[in-house]
Amino acid sequence: MDFDAVTIALFLAAGVRLCLPVALAALGEAVSERAGVFTIGLEGLMLFGAVASAVGLAMTGSPLMALVIGTGGGAAAAFVLALGTVLARANQIVMGIGFNLLAIGATSLIRQLVLTNAPPTGSLRTVTMMKLPWLADLPVVGRAFFSQSPVFYLAVVIAVLLWAMLRYSRLGLVLRAVGENAAATDAAGLPVLPIRMGAAVFTGVMAGLGGATLCIVASGGTFVDNMTAGRGYLAIAIAIFARWKPVRVMLVAFVLGLLEALQFQGQYLGIQIATPLLMAAPFVVALIAWIAIGRAGAAPADLGRPFLRGELR
């Protein structure tokens, strides 16, 4: 096999494109898990984000507005989910799975009721491609990383900001403390439940943006039933596998994106692996991540444990 620069650049670029929705959701999941909230409902949040963005596109005709509305849809759905998992202390796993099942039906219903017309045929160019001046002209990496959707640049900025927030800011300290020892944080007079609510809604923002990106940037603005197809679960696995570190989340997601890209570009690269195997690859990696959590010493100690003051520990 012989690789030329263009093939490799296109392969890398495809990896970035494919990982973007998952990476965004995984960043959100990392934050909520750091705060002790296991957002199993991530898949559903992405779906709500996707359908909201499709509705937004139909209503406004603006892809940018569609992304904003999709993000808002994810946040609103996350707020409702968090009312159950955080405030009402419902079992986070059961509630999350139920929420995901609900999301499949609810988003399909919204599609049938609202999205009856064909999607607007206007240009989505503004959100699919933004060449960064100078950087885009670099060989290989220019085409791979600097001729991407503006959402990708936003994701990188968010990842770096989250890293700095978690590591250096007071908000990050408090957020991590809530996830490690909610009772201690409460005893320090800090508001455990509002912080967890905030983290859960932020996860909705990121999952909503991820779903909107999937719909608007990656799928030409068309919402298809259950179009996330397990990406939410994959994002959860990525967050865990990356040890809840935002920059690592981006890297792990990118590697999985490359695995997915092999499905489409493997033949150009001369790799002969059965497509079904390639399609399964990201999920196999996710399975390994799930096994890894079993011996994850670094997992937030209060992850998945609802907080109730005065509860014996």
Q: Which residues bind other proteins (CB under 8 A)?
A: 170, 173-174, 176-177, 180-181, 183-190, 298, 301, 309-310, 313
Beta carbon nearer to other proteins, 128 or 181: 181
Beta carbon nearer to other proteins, 185 or 213: 185
Q: How far is the CB of 89 from other proteins (least distance, A)?
A: 17
Q: How far is the CB of 176 from other proteins (least distance, A)?
A: 8
**Torsion on CA atoms 52, 58, 62, 64, rounded to nearest 10:** 10
Mark residue 210 as left, alpha or beta (left: phi above 0; alpha: psi -120 to 50; beta: remaining): alpha
SS3 assignment, position 148: strand
Beta carbon nearer to other proteins, 101 or 301: 301
Beta carbon nearer to other proteins, 111 or 176: 176
SS3 assignment, position 72: helix
In angstroms, rounded to a whole number, what is the distance separating the alpha carbons of residues 234 and 14? Answer: 18
Q: How far is the CB of 292 from other proteins (least distance, A)?
A: 18
* Residue 240 in tokens: 């865990």
- Tell me which H or E stretch contains 128: helix 125-128
How many residues does this entry show for the chain? 313
Beta carbon nearer to other proteins, 229 or 301: 301
Q: How far is the CB of 173 from other proteins (least distance, A)?
A: 6
Q: How far is the CB of 174 from other proteins (least distance, A)?
A: 7
Q: Identify the burial level of 214 via C-beta atoms within 10 angstroms of its C-beta, where 0-12 means exposed, 13-18 middle and 19 or more buried.
A: buried
Beta carbon nearer to other proteins, 177 or 286: 177
What are the phi and psi torsion angles at 298 (to 5°)?
Answer: -90, 0
Beta carbon nearer to other proteins, 115 or 180: 180
List beta partners, residue 131. 147
CB 190 within 8 A of CB 177: yes
Q: How far is the CB of 298 from other proteins (least distance, A)?
A: 8
CB 15 within 8 A of CB 260: yes
CB 132 within 8 A of CB 215: no
Q: How far is the CB of 187 from other proteins (least distance, A)?
A: 4
